[in-house]
Amino acid sequence: MAACCTGKPCRWVGLVTEDFEVVPPDPAALVESLRAFGYSVEASVADLVDNSITAGADSVEVDFVWSGEDSMVLLVDDGHGMDESTLRSAMRPGSSNPLAHRDGNDLGRFGLGLKTASFSHARSLTVASKVSGGQIHVRRWDLDHVGAVGAWQLLIGPSGDPDWLRRLEALDSGTVVVWEKLDRIIEGASDDDEKARIRFYELRSHVENHLGVVFHRFLTNSKRPFSIKSNDNTVLPWDPFLADHESTQWLPLEELPLRDLRVTVQPYVLPHHSRLTDEQHKNAAGPDGWNASQGFYLYRADRMISWGGWLGGLKVEEHYKLARISIDISQNMDSAWDIDVRKARARPPGPLRDDLRRIATATRSRASEVYRHRGKLLSKMRPAGDPVPVWHRRKVGTSIRYTLNRKHAVLLEAMDGPKEQKQAVRRVLDLAQRTLPVAQIAVDAYEAPEGQADPDPGDVDGVIVDAARVMFKRFVDNGMDPQTAKTQLLNLEPFFNYPGVIEALFEEFA
C-alpha cells in the first residue's frame, strides 16, 4: 500500500486517494464575503419579492422604518408561508441547486438570494413565517453573533418583542423578512440626523420605482391579481413598450430556437414625443432616461432581469432611443444566458447573437426613421417622393455643413425683385447659415429632446398660413392650375406638414 502525503498508508484508485479531509469555511470570514456580491438595495428587495411571488402571495408590503441606527427594512407577504423545517432550510446558504428543474412560478435559482441580498445591507436577517392553520416560526441570522462564536448558529426567535410580528399573526399564512443593523444603509447615523433620514426615504422611493419596473407584468396580470405597496404607497407598473398606445409599432414577433427550447423576441418602436402627452413622455423615459432605456429587455418567467442597452452588440445612440425589444426566456435557460446570482445581469448565448443583432439592427432602423421624420404620419394627400427641403446637409471633408436651399420656392420668391433686393436677401441668407448655432442645437437636442419645437399639423400659426397663401397665389398668378399648385406646395418643406392648410387654400383658389 502506498504512502500519501501525510506519511500514512492509503489506498489509491488510479491517481485518486480515498482519504480526504473536511475543510469547513471559517464562518466569520465567509459571512463577510457573502456581503460582497454587489447587490444594490433595489435589487436586493426585488430578490425578496421573487420569493413572495414563488410562495403564491397576492400582496407584498415593503416598509422602510426610520429610527437612526435601529432603522429597519421589512417585507410582509400573504403567501403560503413555511413550516419550521422549510424555514430552517430556506435560511441555509445555498438552499437549492441552481441546476435543478424549477416550476413555472419559481423565480429563484441559487438558493442564495434571501441571504446574500439581505447580508449585503444588514448584519441581522430575521424571517418569520407560518402556514395556514400553523404556528409562527422565527429564525434569525446575526452576523455579529456568527463572528463572535465562530460557528453557523442560526438563532431561534426575533430580537426583542417586535411590533411587526403582529402583522403576521393577522394573516392566515405568510412570511415577514426583517433587516436590522443596516450598517451599509444607515452608516451610523443618529435618529435626529435629518439628512440621513431624507436619504433613507429617498432610497425607499428608488426601491418603489425599481419594483414597478421589474414586476410590471405581475402588477398588470388580470389572471393573477398581485400588488406591492411601499410604506402604504401602491407601486405602479412601468410598461417600457407603451404597448397600448395607438402609435406604438409592433414589429414581427420571432421565436428563436435554443437547444430544445424557444426564446421569444418582440421588437417595438415607441411613438415620437410629438405623439405623446408630457406625462406619457416623462413616464416612458424610464428611471434612467430615454437614451439609456433603448435596447433589449430580458424577462425570465415574466420577471424583468435586465433592461436597456444592446447586450454588448451595438452602441447606444440618440436616434435609436425609440427602439425597445423584449426577450422572454424560461427559468431553465439560466445557465445558457449566464444569469448571475443577483438576477441583474445576463449574456446572450452564442447561437442567438447573430439573430439578436439582426433583429436589433432592423428595429433600430425603423426607430431612426420615426425619430428623423419627427414622428409624422404623413398625409395621404402628400405626393410620393421626397419634399423640397429648406436646408441642405453637406459633408465637406470631416465637417458637416448646413446651407439654405436657394432653389426653394419661398426663397426664390423672396429674391424675385430688383438687384438691390436680391443682394439684400442673399446677405440675410448668408448671415443666417453662417451663424446657425449647430453645436448648441445638437447639445439641446441631446439634453432635452422633448423641448425641441416640431411642426404640428394641429397647431398652425399665422406665419405658415400667410406664407402658404402667398406661394399658392403666386403659383396661380403664374398660370398654374390650383390642383398643380396644391401638389407643388405639398412637396415643399415645411408645407407638407400642414395638409389641412393647403387643402383650405385649394378650396379658396379653385
Residue 312 CB-density burial (10 A; 0-12 exposed, 13-18 middle, 19+ buried): exposed
The H or E element spanning position 254 is: strand 254-258
The H or E element spanning position 360 is: helix 350-372
DSSP 398: T
The H or E element spanning position 326 is: strand 323-329
Compute the distance between CA of residue 120 and CA of residue 41 in angstroms, rounded to an integer. Answer: 8
Contact predicate 325/253, CB 8 Å: no
pLDDT of residue 267: 96
Q: What are phi and psi of 137, to 5 degrees?
A: -120, 140
Contacts of 191 (CB under 8 A, 6+ apart): 66, 67, 68, 69, 70
Angle of CA points 42, 43, 46, to nearest 5° = 90
Compute the distance between CA of residue 45 and CA of residue 129 in angstroms, rounded to an integer. Answer: 18
5 conformational bin, left if phi > 0, alpha if psi -120 to 50, beta if neither: alpha
DSSP 327: E
| Helix, strand, coil tally for the chain in percent (to 5) | 40, 20, 40
pLDDT of residue 381: 36
pLDDT of residue 376: 44
Q: H helices of 180-259, where?
A: 183-186, 194-214, 216-219
Contact predicate 486/499, CB 8 Å: no
pLDDT of residue 382: 39
pLDDT of residue 401: 82
Compute the distance between CA of residue 92 and CA of residue 114 in angstroms, rounded to an integer. Answer: 10
- Identify any residues that bridge with 228 across adjacent strands, giving them in sequence order: 60
Q: Is 141 helix (H, G, I), strand (E, B) or coil?
A: strand
Compute the distance between CA of residue 71 and CA of residue 61 in angstroms, rounded to an integer. Answer: 17
Angle of CA points 138, 143, 148, to nearest 5° = 115
pLDDT of residue 433: 85
Compute the distance between CA of residue 177 and CA of residue 23 in angstroms, rounded to an integer. Answer: 32
Q: What is the pLDDT along the chain (510 residues), one digit of tens a residue?
A: 545 555 555 554 555 556 888 888 888 888 888 787 778 999 999 999 999 999 999 999 999 999 999 999 999 999 999 999 999 999 997 655 444 444 555 444 434 678 989 999 999 999 999 999 999 999 999 999 999 999 999 999 999 889 999 999 999 999 999 999 999 999 889 999 999 999 999 999 999 999 999 999 999 998 889 999 999 999 999 999 999 999 999 999 999 999 889 999 999 999 988 889 989 999 999 988 999 999 999 999 999 999 999 987 789 998 899 999 999 999 888 888 888 766 667 789 999 999 999 999 999 999 988 887 654 433 333 344 567 888 888 777 777 888 888 888 888 888 877 888 888 888 988 898 888 887 787 777 666 655 555 555 445 567 788 888 888 888 888 888 888 888 888 888 888 778 888 888 888 887
pLDDT of residue 372: 76
CA dihedral 236, 241, 243, 244 (to 10 degrees): 60
User: 258 vs 318, 341, 453, CA distance in Å?
Assistant: 32, 22, 46
What is the C-alpha end-to-end distance of the chain, expressed in Å? 113
How many CA atoms are closer than 13 Å to the CA of 122, on its beta-carbon side? 24
Compute the distance between CA of residue 137 and CA of residue 159 in angstroms, rounded to an integer. Answer: 13
All structural domains of the chain: 27-234 (3.30.565.10), 249-372 (no CATH), 391-450+457-509 (no CATH)
Q: Which three cell numbers stand for residue 396?
A: 465637406
DSSP 91: T
Compute the distance between CA of residue 328 and CA of residue 267 in angstroms, rounded to an integer. Answer: 12
